[in-house]
Amino acid sequence: MDDIRFHEFGDGRKVAFRHSSGSGPALVFLPGYKSDMDGSKASALFEWAKENARECLLLDYSGCGRSSGDFADGTLSTWRDEVASLIDAYVSRQVVLVGSSMGGWLMLLVAEAIGHRLHGLVGIAAAPDFTEWGTTEADKTQLARGETVYEDNPYGPEPTPTYPGFWIDGQASLRLTGEIAIDCPVRLIHGQRDADVPWDISVRLARVLRSSDVHVTLVKDGDHRLSREEDIALLLATVATI
Predicted confidence at residue 24, as pLDDT, reads 85
The full set of domain ranges for the chain reads: 15-130+183-241
Give the pLDDT of residue 205: 98
pLDDT at 155: 80
**Whole-number Å distance between alpha carbons of 182 and 162:** 29
Query: According to the model, what pLDDT value does residue 1 have?
Result: 57
Three-class DSSP category at 46? helix
Superfamily of domain 15-130+183-241 in CATH is: Alpha/Beta hydrolase fold, catalytic domain (3.40.50.1820)
Taking the C-alpha atoms of residue 11 and residue 225, their distance in angstroms, rounded to an integer, is: 34
User: pTM value?
Assistant: 0.97
> Residues 120, 184: contact at Cβ < 8 Å?
yes
CA atoms within 13 A on the CB side of 149: 20
Q: CA-CA distance, 58 to 27, in Å (whole number)?
A: 8
pLDDT of the chain, 242 residues: tens digit per residue: 579 999 999 999 999 999 999 998 999 999 999 999 999 999 999 999 999 999 999 999 999 999 999 999 999 999 999 999 999 999 989 999 999 999 999 999 999 999 999 999 999 999 999 999 999 999 999 999 999 999 988 887 889 999 999 999 999 999 999 999 999 999 999 999 999 999 999 999 999 999 999 999 999 999 999 999 999 999 999 999 99
> Alpha-carbon distance 74 to 165, whole Å?
8
Q: How many CB atoms within 10 Å of residue 103? A: 28
Beta strands 54-59; 95-100: pairing state:
unpaired
Which is nearest to 43 in space by CA: 26, 64, 18?
18
Cβ neighbors of 198 (< 8 A, separation 6 or more) are: none
Catalytic residues: 101, 194, 224
Residues linked to residue 216 through DSSP beta bridges, in sequence order: 188
Q: How many CB atoms lie within 10 A of CB 231?
A: 21
Q: Give the Cα separation of 183 and 190 in Å (integer).
A: 21
